[in-house]
Amino acid sequence: MYEIVAFYLFSALTIGLFLVTVMSKNILYAMTSLAAAMVLISGFFFMLGADFLGVVQLIVYVGAIMALYSFAMMFFDATRDIKEKNTSNALVFLLGGLSALVLVLMFAAPIMSDNLNTANMLINGMSYSEFIDGNISKYAQYALDNGIQASVEGIGNAQSVGVILFTKYLVPFEVAAVMLLVAMIAGIILAGKKMDNSLTKDASIDDEILVVKDEK
């Protein structure tokens, strides 16, 4: 019961806040609603039993990425409304229709292949629910064989995530660490150019001193 209420509440709020993000003309409104929607998405993760992922979502997305955006706001004119002139409606409709078609095909293709498999199973004398149960338990058996179950009795989510992250996914983890280092250096170099001459301190004073020194 609580799960149903929480699911519909979270999904309605998330979709509404993301719509504000996409449709709003004010950068500050868009950023604030994006941050709020990310907090609610971490609620989805907690509901799904992915505790560690929810905490990471809160710390990295809401804490780090949104803080980075709000620091970047210092460089942009955030209070002014954005004027966007949209191109011809025909092009927008064409692009929208095409991407909707691609999306439907992407989502429908696995369902279609599943239906074909199910038809084969039904021909071989197996009921639909048996097929679905067998399918899910097949994957669960695969997870059990490889030691990657999501929930085990007596072991918390964070613990099993840690064990798998540092055994099966050790190399991708290290590569991600190197990638974050590269991104950090790139961000510092790109944004930090000419950071040494301050924006608040009057630069002309220094120039005058230099000029006086030169004259001497």
CB of 194 to another protein, least distance (A): 8
| Cβ distance to another protein smaller for residue 136 or 211 | 136
| Cβ distance to another protein smaller for residue 11 or 120 | 11
| Cβ distance to another protein smaller for residue 112 or 179 | 179
CB of 124 to another protein, least distance (A): 24
Question: What is the 3-state secondary structure of the chain?
Answer: CHHHHHHHHHHHHHHHHHHHHHHCCCHHHHHHHHHHHHHHHHHHHHHCCCHHHHHHHHHHHHHHHHHHHHHHCCCCCCCCCCCCCCCCHHHHHHHHHHHHHHHHHHHHHHHHHHHHHHHHHHHCCCCHHHHHHHHHHHHHHHHHHCCCCCCECCECHHHHHHHHHCCCCHHHHHHHHHHHHHHHHHHHHHHCCCCCCCCCCCHHHHHHHHHHHHHC
Question: In this chain, which stretch among 96-104, 114-122, 199-207, 208-216 interacts with another protein, using CB under 8 A?
Answer: 96-104
CB of 125 to another protein, least distance (A): 26
Interaction residues for another protein, span 146-205 (CB under 8 A): 148-151, 160-161, 164-165, 169, 172, 176, 179-180, 182-184, 186-191, 193
Interaction residues for another protein, span 25-44 (CB under 8 A): 27, 30-31, 34, 37-38, 41, 44
